[in-house]
């Protein structure tokens, strides 16, 4: 089995672990930025096994420049979408914010 066989390359900005809906960015973000071990990552995502996580990390280490660009693009897109959601929240988000504010006010008055 070749390393690439562990992944579905759906688009230039969408690489998933074969047989799951988990993107490699999910694993690599936990590994690189949160400094989680492969075992901790597997415990967080039941659809993954240790071999898949190790394959993702190995793929990253063999393609660092390309995958760093992939992750930077993913982080930028995620940040941009988060800002857009905050500027234009859906009715459901507005309702949740209202409920949370009411709950917080009730706690303060208690």
Which pLDDT does position 107 carry in this prediction? 86
Q: How far apart are CA 60 and CA 103, in angstroms?
A: 44
- The number of distinct structural domains making up the chain is 1
The CATH number of residue 66's host domain is: 1.10.10.10
Q: Which residues constitute the domain of residue 65?
A: 3-109
Tell which residue, 63, 71, 59, 65, has the closest CA to residue 26. Answer: 71
pLDDT along the chain (110 residues), means of 10: 93 95 97 97 96 98 96 94 91 92 88
pTM score over 0.85? no
The Cβ-side half-sphere exposure at 12, using a 13 Å CA radius, reads 3
The Cβ-side half-sphere exposure at 106, using a 13 Å CA radius, reads 6
Q: Which is it for the CA torsion 63, 67, 53, 16, positive or negative?
A: negative
């Amino acid at each position: 089995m070749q390393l690439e066989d562990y992944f579905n390359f759906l688009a230039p900005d969408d690489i998933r672990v074969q047989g799951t809906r988990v993107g490699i960015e999910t694993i690599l973000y936990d590994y690189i930025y949160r400094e989680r071990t492969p075992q901790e990552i597997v415990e967080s995502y039941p659809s993954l096994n240790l071999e898949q996580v190790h394959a993702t990390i190995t793929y990253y280490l063999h393609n660092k420049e390309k995958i760093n660009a992939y992750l930077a693009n993913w982080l930028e897109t995620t940040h941009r979408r988060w800002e857009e959601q905050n500027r234009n929240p859906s009715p459901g988000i507005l309702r949740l914010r209202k409920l949370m504010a009411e709950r917080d006010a009730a706690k303060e008055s208690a």
